[in-house]
Amino acid sequence: MSQGITIAIDGPAGAGKSVVSKKVAQALNYTLVDTGAIYRSVALLAKEAGIDWQDDAGLQAVVAGLDIHFNFVGEDNQVRLGDRDVSAAIRMPDISQGASLVSAQASVRAGLLDVQRNLAGKGGAVLEGRDIGTVVFPQAEVKIFLIASPEERAKRRHQELVGKGQEISFEEVLADQNKRDAQDENRALAPLKAAEDALQLDSTDLSITQVVTEIVGQAHKVLGF
């Protein structure tokens, strides 16, 4: 019987990675590793311990003690630190900013390599992030680089935030997104870029179902279905 393959789904914020990764993992009954949630968890723990988000040595200790697990509860991919559910806490705006800062630290990126690989386990796994196909799993059998136009990504994010009751304009969301994109693409360590052998999918004019069908089809091709 096949052990399953590794599927890397990378791309900028707002391209639809989370929902697509979740549906692909469910369709194949694979483990799902949301690597952004791991960086967010490091930022949360550092904040609680009074460690600065740019304190490399302090962050190293946080990463060394990290006890993180994912598990599906109904439709939600819950994030747990020990037995504490931090799924909501890691999505707060200040933790997003913290995650962006800690993810630029060399010791954090190096320390999280094994964490990410161990979470993927030995069976089939879907990993969503920025550098899965280039750094974490360069040998992944299926590599997807999911993009969408900046306006479409900001529109989706704006709708999501307004849906959660936040008062924010589309222009503010777009400006914030442009700033984060530039930061992610230009940072020295593991900048956001597609692996040479990644399949680039543009979700601007595709439905979630179309994107998921394409990725599951790629996986089936590799698995010989």
- Pick the closer one to ligand DC by CB: 18 or 223: 18
Nearest residue to the partner ligand DC, using Cβ: 36
Per DSSP, what are the bridge partners of residue 125? 6, 31
**Tokens at 23, concatenated:** 């549906």
- Work out whether 98 is an interface residue with ligand DC (CB under 6 A): no
**Residue 201 class from Cβ within 10 Å (0-12 exposed, 13-18 middle, 19+ buried)?**
buried
Q: How do 125-129 and 6-10 pair as beta strands?
A: parallel
Binding mask 18-37 for ligand DC (x = CB under 6 A): -----------------xx-
- Pick the closer one to ligand DC by CB: 130 or 220: 130
3-class secondary structure, 195: coil
Closest residue by Cα to residue 206 from 196, 214, 198: 214
Contact 30, 24 (CB under 8 A): yes
Cβ 130 to ligand DC, closest distance in Å?
Answer: 4
**Tokens at 99, concatenated:** 């995650």
- Work out whether 14 is an interface residue with ligand DC (CB under 6 A): no
- Pick the closer one to ligand DC by CB: 5 or 15: 15
- Pick the closer one to ligand DC by CB: 87 or 223: 87
- Pick the closer one to ligand DC by CB: 124 or 129: 129
Closest residue by Cα to residue 11 from 144, 186, 157: 144
Q: CA 69 to CA 84: how far, in whole Å?
A: 10
Cβ 111 to ligand DC, closest distance in Å?
Answer: 13
Cβ 145 to ligand DC, closest distance in Å?
Answer: 13
- Pick the closer one to ligand DC by CB: 130 or 143: 130
**Positions in 37-76 near ligand DC (CB under 6 A):** 39-40
- Work out whether 129 is an interface residue with ligand DC (CB under 6 A): yes
Q: To which residue do tokens 């060394």 refer?
A: 64
Contact 63, 118 (CB under 8 A): no
- Work out whether 130 is an interface residue with ligand DC (CB under 6 A): yes
Task: Give the one residue of 131, 147, 215, 219 binding ligand DC; rule: CB under 6 A.
Answer: 131
Contact 43, 102 (CB under 8 A): yes
Q: Which residues bind ligand DC (CB under 6 A)?
A: 13, 35-36, 39-40, 99-100, 103, 129-131
